[in-house]
Chain A
Amino acid sequence: MRLAGLVVFAVGAALLPVLFPDNYFVLVVGVSVGLYVILAVGLNLLMGYAGQISLGHAAFFGMGAYASAILTTRFAWPSLLAMLAGLALAGLVAWVLARPILRLRGHYLAMATLGFGIVVHVLMVQSVAWTGGPDGMGSIPPLNLLGWSVDTDLRWYGVVAVAMLLAIWLSLNIVDSRIGRALRAVRGSEFAAQTLGVDTTRAKTQVFVVSALFAAFAGSLFAHQQAFVSPDSFSLMVSVELVTMVVLGGMASTFGAAFGAITLTVLHESLVVFEDYEMLIHGALLMLVMIFLPQGLFVGLSQGARRAWRAIRFKGISE
């Protein structure tokens, strides 16, 4: 079932540029969608499977982006090395913060992650000499994969599609692994998990770091693809949007998170014309889904679909 889903994604991603060649929406928006899928899937591991809320996830996205941006632009590092540096930075920060932050629960955890996100954002805005301040920094050199320069829309589409599939595959594997089972135990009841001998602190720390790595990876790709980064891409609102994606799709579902990312990004692009209404629609969507379909749109819809399918199949029998 899971592998089937991955194949569907792969085929879909491959077909789109074939069906709509040289299409701005497919190539540029598609890349955006891919990056947000990576972010959402990573966040979903933390929120959906480990049950921890994070309102500061954009900070890790930003760390990857700025690390790549600053190191390749100001210090002429090769892009892959800069990406590794970004991953290391995000991973380290996540590891150090995991223990004190993940001890908190509920609203305190929300506040702590929120505060963390804001502190990082302020740093991005204020460190003008490094980051270029609120107006951002541009002229970021293209991503260079061992000699192959990613400098056309089509190449970017390919790279991000592969990265997205990789992220989904990784997430599916983690969920099914020992760590994944430990995480689900934590989500069910942390105390029960502890009494069963699960090292909950270690499991939570690991997932926090992994989700941070996903985000930093997406961030590095983002920086090179846009050739421009500014703190606006990593604000509190972006963190909230990421949470929206995970929640919209349905927590504890990799494909749900991906679905949420796709839906929200496409919605955002199509609502550009109704820019003023976008905020209202976004908030209303969030509220309505959470009030009426708290298990998420994707899960809710697929459950509904399954029920309908069964009703059709067994219609004759139950008569």
Chain B
Amino acid sequence: MRTDVAKEWKVTDLGEPQKIIGIEITRSPECITISLSKYIKSILHKEGHEHCNPVSTPLDPNVQLVPNPDGEIRNCSNSFARLLGELQYVANTMQPDISYAVNRLASYTANPSLQHTTALKCMLRYLSGTRSLGIIYKADNKYPNFIGYTDASYANADKRKSILGYVFIASSGAITWSSKKQVTKALSLTEAEYIAMSEAA
């Protein structure tokens, strides 16, 4: 197989994979660990948050996010969107725990207020605490092959929409996950849960 590839093109053999598209891979006999610590470190470095104090939650549950109260004052700087985009990559690749927070903040990208910027900085502080953590896929056979969970909240986003979330786990590590605002307005929690399940499926 390797020779097949080597016959066609000039190749560099890198052996055991260390890093692909920014994901660091470490292998031990009983598990494979993936993490994104270097990428997160570079984000923190760029934002000057290298030595900040970590917090325990990515998004403060006591703060209710609202659209910018100052109305449509267009913010010309795209620094909010840029940083959010970088965090979105982290949320999609490695950290399901900030997926909800990123998704909530992303709905205010067009017109962010001070509240949203503060929340974003708070997320950076959370990441500085968790950046060395990653996903572990274990070889042990006692874990089920494939398992999925869904959940939904009821009418807690803007305009009474519900938020869904799902995660699929294989070999004890998360494979795919998402947190989204539902497209339709559910009239009951049960309906919201059904929408979440169909989205996950």
Query: Is A bound to B?
Result: no
Residues of A within 8 A of B (CB): none
Residues of B within 8 A of A (CB): none
